[in-house]
């Protein structure tokens, strides 16, 4: 699931150009201390009710980190459950961003949104998605099943996970399955004043 603080926020495509030398495929997500991104009923009440200092302002909650991350996003990919959750909670927040939704169902498209539906494996479309991102990154928004498919194919470059100091005990895991032979290297940490901590990993090739 996307960061819950996106509720009500509408983002526009970043300006063309950028300093990236190559497109990175990233999974940017918030999870509980015990590794869940949503409760068993797919809700985010645990995260929306977190009483950190910044409330529902994602920019303030991450000390501007989300803004810096999003400035480098050129395309997004998500599963149908994540897509429907976003539409139900906030409307379409990715104005001007090419967006792939992996689904076997027919779903509505918000007016003016650049949404492209796909039914099948992620690997054949990866080059198309990264090409659409231009000099920016491809953000795999979620959920855990789709992200696991990217990881299984060796297509994920980075994991940016914000650890929220909440223990759920059960729910939807950050990844839908064990990632066999996919070692991660910690390349950065950032504690936030509201008690959350961002961990940044790269997938070791």
Question: Do the Cβ atoms of 93 and 71 come closer than 8 Å?
Answer: no
Q: What is the dihedral of CA 177, 182, 187, 190, to 10 degrees?
A: 0
C-alpha 50: how far from chain center: 19
pLDDT in tens, 30-65: 999 999 998 988 888 888 888 665 445 666 677 678
| 94-118 per-residue burial string, b: 16 or more CB within 10 A, e: under 16 | beebbbbbbbeeeeeeeeebbbbbb
* pTM score: 0.84
Question: What kind of fold does domain 4-203 have according to CATH?
Answer: Dihydrofolate Reductase, subunit A (3.40.430)
pLDDT in tens, 126-143: 999 999 999 999 999 998
For residue 55, give every residue at least 6 positions away whose Cβ sits within 8 Å of its Cβ, in sequence order, or none: 61
State the DSSP code for 6. Answer: G
């Amino acid at each position: 699931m996307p960061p819950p603080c996106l509720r009500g926020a509408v983002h526009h495509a970043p300006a063309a150009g950028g300093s990236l030398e190559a497109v990175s495929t990233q999974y940017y997500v918030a999870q509980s201390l015990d590794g869940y991104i949503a409760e068993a009923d797919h809700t985010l009440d645990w995260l929306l009710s977190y009483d950190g200092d910044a409330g529902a302002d994602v920019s303030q909650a991450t000390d501007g980190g989300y803004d810096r991350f999003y400035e480098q996003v050129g395309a997004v990919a998500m599963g149908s459950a994540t897509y429907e959750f976003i539409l139900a909670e906030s409307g379409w927040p990715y104005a001007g961003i090419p967006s792939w939704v992996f689904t076997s169902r027919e779903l509505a498209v918000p007016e003016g949104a650049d949404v492209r539906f796909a039914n099948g494996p992620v690997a054949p479309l990866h080059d198309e998605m990264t090409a659409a991102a231009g000099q920016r990154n491809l953000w795999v928004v979620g959920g855990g099943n789709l992200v696991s498919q990217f990881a299984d194919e060796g297509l994920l470059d980075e994991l940016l996970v914000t650890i929220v100091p909440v223990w759920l005990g059960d729910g939807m895991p950050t990844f839908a399955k064990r990632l066999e032979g996919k070692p991660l290297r910690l390349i950065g940490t950032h504690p936030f004043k509201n008690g959350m901590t961002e961990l940044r990993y790269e997938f070791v090739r």
